[in-house]
Amino acid sequence: MSKVTAFRNKGLLNAVVMFAIFAVSPQVTASAFAVKEQSVTHLGNAFAGTASSATDASTAFYNPAGLVELKHSQAVVSATYVMAKLKLHNASARNTINQAVVGNNFAKPKSRALIPGLFLSWRLDDSFTLGFSVSAPFGLLTKYTNTDITRYVATESKITTVMYSPTIGYKLNDQFSVGAGFDAMRVKATLAGDVFLGANEGYLINRAHGWAYGYHLGILYKPSYITKMGLTYFSKFDVRAKGLANASNFTSSPSTLITRVNLPDRLVYSVTHQYTDEWTAMGEIEWTHWSRLKSLRLDYNTGNPVTEYFFYKNSYRVSLGADYKYSQALTMKGGLAYDQSPIINAYRSARVPDSNRYWLAFGLKYMVNKNISIDGAYAHLFAKNAVIAQRAAAPSQAALNGNYKNSADIVGVQLTWNFV
């Protein structure tokens, strides 16, 4: 069997495998498959204190036990814009039949996205509060051109998710409260890449969609009226996706695909302490069970299942933040964070050239009146330079070597309405 025929019959399947993986991959903003940017209030603190602060209805997402801390029913609408800057340089590549790719040795893919959020709370009485959130916990948009040196391992990756979460919080006593939420997440994704078939340049576009279900549980402990401690557990998601493959210049290819992706569970612990009437500080540590994701199997209508291996490691994130209440109406925010990537160097991909990163964040909260408050926040992410030595799964011989220099800017606005 020739190299070209082998690629047509099996290499295509390996390319489709990568679709399922990156259907749950964000870009520079958070490690590997996680997106934190649900709340602009917490963005200003580099997401320190998400499980303990309980400042608005977004606690329905971060820790539903905090819902009972809200004095009134509330609605929160947020929008966060992420502008990732990815720069590949000193690159070399080989196409699917092991020929050197000629052209520029650098690439600057487009990677920008808008992350919306909607959070509601309804205070039933002094003990019970209901909540509901609509969020986008996973996402990716990375787009290279069809002439970039990366084109045989990646051209376009686009993933959108929407998660619906009804929640409830219950106050056990003056010190303890608990909460729980049910999570239903819709996933849609597109992955594209080029292939070289000996005489012709071809492309492969994969589209898939699916649902996944999980839950999150929280507890809030108040040892004093100025200190709050929160612990939240987010369950795993087992995504089952199906879709279509669209190929050009292929003699034969599968037309449908089915796959399953196991997303990790995670645990978040945070503390918020009010030092004075003006100053409040918060800290947080998050652990994510990425080692669950060892491999992925993809099944096709043509038979021939394909398995890819990843060997991710567990990762953690730590953050510190502070609020300064300048006046009754204005609060200033700041925060620092370190976010560890679970990706091992040998398995880094052009679709997600992820690496460890540091956060520097600032924000403002302005109370317009007793009903309305507005938040604005900005964060800059400094990512560690990353080496890529990507090899496609056999029989494809596509490869990419080089270095990535990445960063990101994040801006957000939020409107909070108290039903006083």
Q: Strand, helix or coil at 69?
A: helix
Confidence at residue 96, expressed as pLDDT on a 0 to 100 scale: 85
* Residues 349, 188, 295, 62, CA torsion sign: positive
First vs last Cα of the chain: how many Å apart?
Answer: 74
Confidence at residue 400, expressed as pLDDT on a 0 to 100 scale: 94
Burial bucket for residue 366 (CB in 10 Å: 0-12, 13-18, 19+): middle
* Residues 382, 384, 389, 394, CA torsion sign: negative
Confidence at residue 138, expressed as pLDDT on a 0 to 100 scale: 84
Neighbours of 142 (CB within 10 A): 29
Confidence at residue 14, expressed as pLDDT on a 0 to 100 scale: 41
Neighbours of 294 (CB within 10 A): 11
* Predicted confidence pLDDT, tens digits, the chain (420 residues): 344 343 333 433 343 333 333 333 345 566 766 788 889 999 999 999 999 999 999 999 999 999 999 999 999 999 999 999 999 999 999 998 889 998 889 999 999 889 999 999 999 999 999 999 999 888 888 899 989 999 998 899 888 889 999 999 999 999 999 999 999 999 888 888 888 877 778 887 888 899 999 999 999 999 999 999 999 999 999 988 898 877 787 666 767 778 788 888 999 999 999 999 999 999 999 999 989 877 766 676 776 666 667 788 999 999 999 999 999 999 999 999 999 999 998 888 898 898 999 999 999 999 999 999 999 999 999 999 999 998 877 667 889 999 999 999 999 999 999 998
Q: pLDDT tens digits, residue range 88-135?
A: 999 999 998 889 998 889 999 999 889 999 999 999 999 999 999 999
**Residue in this structure with the two tokens 């992420």, named with its chain if needed:** 82
- In angstroms, the CA 420 to CA 407 distance is 41
Tokens of 33: 């498959």
Confidence at residue 260, expressed as pLDDT on a 0 to 100 scale: 82
* Residues 4, 5, 11, 13, CA torsion sign: positive
Confidence at residue 17, expressed as pLDDT on a 0 to 100 scale: 35
**Residue in this structure with the two tokens 């919306």, named with its chain if needed:** 116
Burial bucket for residue 170 (CB in 10 Å: 0-12, 13-18, 19+): middle
Confidence at residue 29, expressed as pLDDT on a 0 to 100 scale: 60
Q: Strand, helix or coil at 30?
A: coil
- In angstroms, the CA 323 to CA 281 distance is 6
Neighbours of 126 (CB within 10 A): 8
Confidence at residue 148, expressed as pLDDT on a 0 to 100 scale: 94
Confidence at residue 23, expressed as pLDDT on a 0 to 100 scale: 31
Is 72 in contact with 420 (CB distance < 8 Å)?
yes
Domain spanning 3-419: which CATH class is it, in words? mainly beta
Instruction: Give this prediction's pTM.
Output: 0.89
Of 340, 322, 341, the C-alpha closest to 332 is: 322
**Residue in this structure with the two tokens 């011989």, named with its chain if needed:** 397
Confidence at residue 372, expressed as pLDDT on a 0 to 100 scale: 97
Q: pLDDT tens digits, residue range 11-56?
A: 333 433 333 333 333 455 667 667 888 899 999 999 999 999 999 9
